[in-house]
Amino acid sequence: MTGTDTTDLGIKTEPGNADYRRRWGGALMPSLGQPELALVSGKGAHVTDADGREYIDFLSGVAVNALGHAHPAIVDAVTTQISTVGHVSNLFISTRAVDLAERILGLTGRDGRVFFCNSGAEANEAAFKVARKTGRPHVVTAEGSFHGRTMGALALTGQPGKRDGFEPLPGGVTYVPFGDIDALDAAVTDQTAAVLLEPIQGEYGVRPLPPGYLKRAREITAERGALLMLDEVQTGTGRTGYWFSHQDPYFEGVLPDVMTLAKGLGGGLPLGACVAFGATAELLAPGQHASTFGGNPVCCAAGLAVLDTIEADALLERTRSLGARIAAAVERLGHPLIGHVRGAGLLLGIVLTMPAGTPVADAARDAGFLVNAVAPDVIRLAPPLVVTDEDVDALIEALPKILDAASAVPAQGGNP
């Protein structure tokens, strides 16, 4: 379908948002509900929908488009690679995968091994299998955590609403209250294979672990012979102003046994990684795990372009400074709907004083900004790391009117 009849004369125009909503509803499974906009083009932090309206993108595909849309470094890398060799499977060596694995390990400064896959859920599935290979049956995760929607990753996810309807899931998982170190201490035993934590819970309101929690978690796991696994799917690849958020001094130098990555790593292409360090990297033996598309040369070329650009353009430093500026500017507005801002770098949660997240996100979209209500009372900001000062200033300037508009809409629900 290339157009829609709009007059009796048969004049055709390109399909708009309404056309795509109708077609989406007829062709795609409604597993996440009906989207409102069809985005058809973008450049940097700007996107255009099927009706021709432009928005400033402060969500970047849920922290995926680290370099924004159509970044020339990614376009060049992908174009060159797909015109050279596009796919080799895991029966042959992907040279781009070797390059990227070495690069990731170099950024950690540690010895280890990398397993490449296509998503964060798959990366956490691999981590789950690594945990099983310890011979211990038990894994601990946090309430409110989100580790993916495949069956193993869903079993690790500490949100009952997402697990409902899919039991029985793989067993042996205990969920402890978020930030409660005593509960974690009590849950980890000599039968615990691993503790899996997000340094910042992105999908449950952008909640950073409390000060000192991760350090004590490292001590507890070391004492009992369990692995410490960090889900850096959303927080990794520069999103918080460090290559990996556990490198932030806030986390006091904690080193995980396993780290999972995805989202920003591929800069818009499907790319995930499970990174294991030291002896943990040897737990999965040949033939015990695989991914046909994992380490795809095209995706890995994009990943290398992302890392090269972040380094060359000093985006880690900019992410830290810009995130701090956004947080301070939002709180300075003093709007009655703003409680405070939490998070790190360019993964921020505007905590509202009432559950008005959806009306705020809707009003922001109407004003030309894409954000999302990650919780009933939290708005998530995760713009591309290349977002400009002008784009940030535009959002800050527009935010009071956005909040005023949302305040006139009845609140919906409570905090999850």
- At residue 239, the 3 state secondary structure works out as coil
Of 115, 263, 277, 377, the active-site residue reads 263
Closest of 386, 396, 392, 390 to residue 43, by C-alpha: 386
| Segment (H or E) for 405 | helix 389-407
Q: How far apart are CA 187 and CA 256, in angstroms?
A: 19
Confirm whether 369 is a catalytic residue. Answer: no
Closest of 289, 294, 268 to residue 116, by C-alpha: 294
Confirm whether 263 is a catalytic residue. Answer: yes
- At residue 114, the 3 state secondary structure works out as strand
Q: How far apart are CA 144 and CA 415, in angstroms?
A: 12
Q: How far apart are CA 269 and CA 303, in angstroms?
A: 8
Q: How far apart are CA 242 and CA 251, in angstroms?
A: 12
Position 272, amino acid: G
Strands lying side by side in the sheet with 227-231: 112-117, 272-277, 258-261, 227-231, 192-197, 138-142, 173-176
Of 49, 231, 248, 377, the active-site residue reads 231
Strands lying side by side in the sheet with 46-49: 39-43, 46-49, 54-57, 369-370
Confirm whether 5 is a catalytic residue. Answer: no
Closest of 387, 399, 336, 391 to residue 363, by C-alpha: 399
Q: How far apart are CA 243 and CA 254, in angstroms?
A: 14
- At residue 323, the 3 state secondary structure works out as helix
Of 116, 146, 244, 251, the active-site residue reads 146
- Tokens encoding 315: 């985006």
Establish whether the linkage from the previous residue to 336 is cis, with ω within 30° of 0. Answer: no
Q: Which residues are catalytic?
A: 146, 231, 263
